[in-house]
A and B are shown apart, each in its own frame.
Chain A
Amino acid sequence: MNRLAVFFGSDFLYRFRTDPVAVGATVVLGLFVLAAVFAPWLSGMNPHDPAQIDIMNSEIPPVWQDGGAPAFPFGTDAQGRDLLSAILYGLRISITIGIFAVMVQMTLGIVIGLVSGYLGGKVDAFFMRLADIQLSMSTLMLAIVALAVFQAAFGAELFADMAIIMLILVIGIAEWPQYARTIRASVLAERKKEYVEAARVIGLSAPVIMVRHILPNTLSPLLVISTVQVANAIISEAALSFLGLGMPVTKPSLGSLISAGFEYIFSGSWWITTIPAIVLIVLILSINLLGDWLRDVLNPRLYKG
C-alpha cells in the first residue's frame, strides 16, 4: 500500500499526466495490446482456420469504398480472409514475438552484463569484444543467415510450425549486446558505491551482491531500452516476414500480411498491404514515443537506441 501511495504521489506520475504525447502514446499502445489479447473475440473469423475462409470473398474492398461489404470492415485479401481479423491475429503474433524476443535479450544481456561489470578483467574483455563483433554485423543479416540455413536444412514445413520460436530466438540472441552494454555500464557505476562495499563487508557472495543489490539499481535504464527494443524486435520480425523468412502466410504476422498484399498493390487492391502497414507504423511510433519520454524522465546515461 505504502509503495503504491508513493508511486501515485510521485514526480513520475505527475510528469506523465502533464505530457500529452506520453498519455496519447500509452492510450494507443494500450488499445493495440487489448486488441491483440482479445483478438479471438473481436474478429469475425479465425484467419488461421482454412475452413472459415471462402475464396469467393477474395479482394473485397474496405467498407467505405464501392463494393465493400459490412461483414469485412477492412475488406478481404486475395484468399478471401477478413483483413480486420487477420490484422488482429497478426498484431497478436507481432507483439508476442516482440515481447518474448526482448525477454530473451534481456535475460542474456542481464546475466552477461552483470558478470562482466562486476568481475571485470578477462571475463569482461571477452564478452565486450564478443558484443563488439556481434554489433558490427546487423541483426537482420545474422537473422537472415540463421533462418535461411534452418529453412534449407529442415524444410519449409517444419519451419512453418517452428517459425514463432525461431524468430523469438534469432531476434533475441542477435540483440543481447544492447542490454549487456547498458547493464555493464550501470554496474560499473553502482559497484563503486559504498552500499556495495557494505554488502561485501557483511560477507555476502558475489552472486548475491549482484542480484540483490546491484541489479535492482540498474532497472530504470532497462525499462527505457526495453520499450525501444520491443519496437525494434517487431520491426525485425516484420522485415524477416516480408522477406519470406518469418511467419508463413497461413499464420500471418503484420509483416507477412504486408508482404502478401504487396503484389496486389498495383492491381487496385491497395488495402491488403496498406492497412497492415499503417497499423505497424502506428504501433512502432507509439512504442518509440513512450520510450523517448521514459528516457527523458529517467535520464539514464549511455544508451542511444
Chain B
Amino acid sequence: MSEAAAMTRDSGRESGGAPAADRPLVEARHVVKHFDLGGHFLQRERPTVKALNDVSITIRRGEAFCLVGESGCGKSTLARVVMGLLDPTDGEIRFDGTRIDALGHRARKPFHRRMQMIFQNPYASLNPRRTVQQTLEEPVRFHFPKLSDAEVKAKVEQVMVSVGNDPGWGNRYPHEFSGGQRQRISIARALMVDPDFVVADEPISALDVSIQAQVLNVMMDTRERLDLTYLFITHDLSVVRHFGSRVGVMYLGTLCELADTKTLFETPRHPYTRILLSAIPRVTTEEMQPPGLPGEVPSAMNLPSGCVFHDRCPLANARCSAEVPKPQSQADGTLVACHAVEEGRG
C-alpha cells in the first residue's frame, strides 16, 4: 500500500509505474451492501435493503466494462462502492492489486487521483455556486499542489479543448450551459487529474438523443486517446452494444451474466438477459410485443429464496427456488448464474 502511494504521489503526468499488464485494474470481490433503514428502535428486526448480494466483477485494463440492469438492480450502488462513496458491508475492492476499501483518507489519496467518476444528472453534478474554472481547477490543485498557476490554467485549457468545450467558458456558471455542455464539463473535471479509471453512472440518460451521441463520442475519443478504463453504468442496452467491451447484467443485487459484448448480444444465455434484450425498442415497423416478464421486481428488503429471479423466470423449477445459483464459467469464458443454463434446460 505504501509503495503504491509513493509510486503515484506527485508523480506528475505519467500514470504511476508499470505494473504487470495482465493484472486486472479493478476487482470487486464478493461485495455485499446492505442499507439499514433504521426503523423504530423497538422493532426487533430492522428493515434492511439488500442492495448487493455477493457480487464479483473484474475489470481489465483498457476495457469499457458495462453494467446493465433495471432500476433497483444495484448497479449504481456497486459503482459507488467501487469508488469508495459507500462502504461495502462485506467483501473487498482492489485497485491495481491494492485493497482500497479499508484505506484511511490519507492513504487513499493517490487512488482518488487514479479513479474518477462522471454522474448522471448534469444539473446536479456541478456546484451551482462555482465557476467552470473553479470546478476544473480544484482537482488539479488538490492532487498536484506543486503546479504553478500558469500550469494549472494550461491544463484546464488543454482538457477543455480535448472534450470539445470552448476554453473561454471558464468564468461562467453551470446554469448558463445546456445539459450536454454540462456533461462535457463533468467529463473534463474527471479527466483533469489524468485518471486511469473512470466510472460513468448513466452519463447520457438525462440528455436528448442528438446530445447523447455527442457525449458518447467524447467518451470514446478520450478512452482511446488516454488509454482509459471505463466502468459504464446504464440501463440502455443499445448504448452497451455500441460502447462496451464486456457486459455484466444485474438483477436485484446479483450478477446474472457476465460476457463479452458481442457474445452477450449474439448468444444471451441467462433468461433475464434474453428478456432484457428482447425489450429494447428498435427502429422497425414491427409492432411492439410484450416481453413476457410476469409480475414485478420483488422488494430488495425481502428477497426471494434461491435464485432471485425464479418467481418471474420462464425456466424456473423447484431447485431454483431453493438454491442460489453460483456464476458458472462457460466454454467461451462467459459467466452465467443460472441452474437452467447449467442443466441445459433452456
Q: Which A residues form the contact surface with B (CB < 8 A)?
A: 2, 193-195, 197-205, 213, 216-217
CB distance from A33 to the nearest CB of B (A): 28
CB of B189 within 8 Å of the partner chain = yes
CA distance A217 to B127 in the complex (A): 8
CA distance A203 to B113 in the complex (A): 8
A198 to chain B: which residues have CB within 8 Å?
117, 119, 125-126, 186, 189
Q: Is the interface of A mostly helix, strand, loop or mixed?
A: helix
State whether A204 and B171 are in contact (beta carbons under 8 Å apart), knowing that A193-B124, A194-B119 are contacts in the complex. Answer: no
Q: Are A201 and B129 in contact (CB under 8 A)?
A: no
Interface pairs (16), CB distance under 8 Å: A194-B121, A194-B125, A195-B125, A195-B126, A197-B85, A197-B117, A198-B119, A199-B138, A201-B83, A202-B143, A203-B108, A203-B109, A203-B113, A203-B142, A205-B105, A216-B130
Nearest-CB residue, chain B, relative to A204: B142
B119 to chain A: which residues have CB within 8 Å?
194, 197-198
Nearest-CB residue, chain B, relative to A214: B127
B52 to chain A: which residues have CB within 8 Å?
none
CA distance A198 to B115 in the complex (A): 11
CA distance A216 to B113 in the complex (A): 25
CA distance A198 to B200 in the complex (A): 12
Nearest-CB residue, chain B, relative to A219: B129
CB distance from A160 to the nearest CB of B (A): 45
CB distance from B198 to the nearest CB of A (A): 10
CB of B116 within 8 Å of the partner chain = yes
B117 to chain A: which residues have CB within 8 Å?
197-198, 201
CA distance A200 to B116 in the complex (A): 10
CB distance from A6 to the nearest CB of B (A): 8
Q: Are B128 and A202 in contact (CB under 8 A)?
A: no
A201 to chain B: which residues have CB within 8 Å?
83, 85, 112, 115-117
CA distance A194 to B129 in the complex (A): 14
A2 to chain B: which residues have CB within 8 Å?
171
Q: Are B142 and A213 in contact (CB under 8 A)?
A: no
CB contact list, B85-108 vs A, under 8 A: 85, 105, 108
Q: Which of B121, B127, B143 has the most CB of A within 10 A?
A: B127
CB of B139 within 8 Å of the partner chain = yes
B193 to chain A: which residues have CB within 8 Å?
202
CB distance from A207 to the nearest CB of B (A): 11
Q: Are A200 and B127 in contact (CB under 8 A)?
A: no
CB of B254 within 8 Å of the partner chain = no
Q: Are A202 and B124 in contact (CB under 8 A)?
A: no
CA distance A302 to B216 in the complex (A): 40
Nearest-CB residue, chain B, relative to A205: B105
Contact flags (1/0) for B129-153 with A, using CB distance below 8 Å? 1100000001100110000000000
A193 to chain B: which residues have CB within 8 Å?
124-125
Of B80, B112, B128, the contact of A203 (CB 8 Å cutoff): B112
Q: Are A216 and B129 in contact (CB under 8 A)?
A: yes
CB of B120 within 8 Å of the partner chain = yes
Nearest-CB residue, chain B, relative to A203: B112
B138 to chain A: which residues have CB within 8 Å?
199, 202, 204
CA distance A216 to B116 in the complex (A): 24
CA distance A260 to B83 in the complex (A): 67
Ordered nearest first, which 6 A-B pairs have the shortest CB separation?
Answer: A203-B112, A194-B125, A194-B119, A216-B129, A195-B127, A193-B124
CB distance from B140 to the nearest CB of A (A): 10
Besides the known contacts A202-B142, A213-B130, 5 further A-B residue pairs in the complex with CB atoms under 8 A apart: A2-B171, A193-B125, A198-B186, A201-B117, A203-B105
CB distance from B108 to the nearest CB of A (A): 7
Nearest-CB residue, chain A, relative to B186: A198
B113 to chain A: which residues have CB within 8 Å?
203
Q: Are A194 and B120 in contact (CB under 8 A)?
A: yes
Q: Are A195 and B124 in contact (CB under 8 A)?
A: yes
Contact flags (1/0) for B65-99 with A, using CB distance below 8 Å? 00000000000000010011100000000000000
Nearest-CB residue, chain B, relative to A217: B129
A199 to chain B: which residues have CB within 8 Å?
127, 138
Contact flags (1/0) for B155-180 with A, using CB distance below 8 Å? 00000000000000001000000000
Q: Are A213 and B127 in contact (CB under 8 A)?
A: yes
A202 to chain B: which residues have CB within 8 Å?
112, 138-139, 142-143, 193
Nearest-CB residue, chain B, relative to A215: B129
Nearest-CB residue, chain A, relative to B127: A195
CA distance A203 to B5 in the complex (A): 14
CB distance from B114 to the nearest CB of A (A): 10
Nearest-CB residue, chain B, relative to A208: B142
B130 to chain A: which residues have CB within 8 Å?
213, 216
CA distance A204 to B109 in the complex (A): 9
CA distance A198 to B126 in the complex (A): 8
Of B109, B116, B124, the contact of A194 (CB 8 Å cutoff): B124
A213 to chain B: which residues have CB within 8 Å?
127, 130
A205 to chain B: which residues have CB within 8 Å?
105
CA distance A174 to B128 in the complex (A): 33
CA distance A217 to B128 in the complex (A): 8
CA distance A200 to B139 in the complex (A): 10
CA distance A194 to B123 in the complex (A): 9
Q: Which of B108, B116, B119 has the most CB of A within 10 A?
A: B119
A203 to chain B: which residues have CB within 8 Å?
105, 108-109, 112-113, 142-143
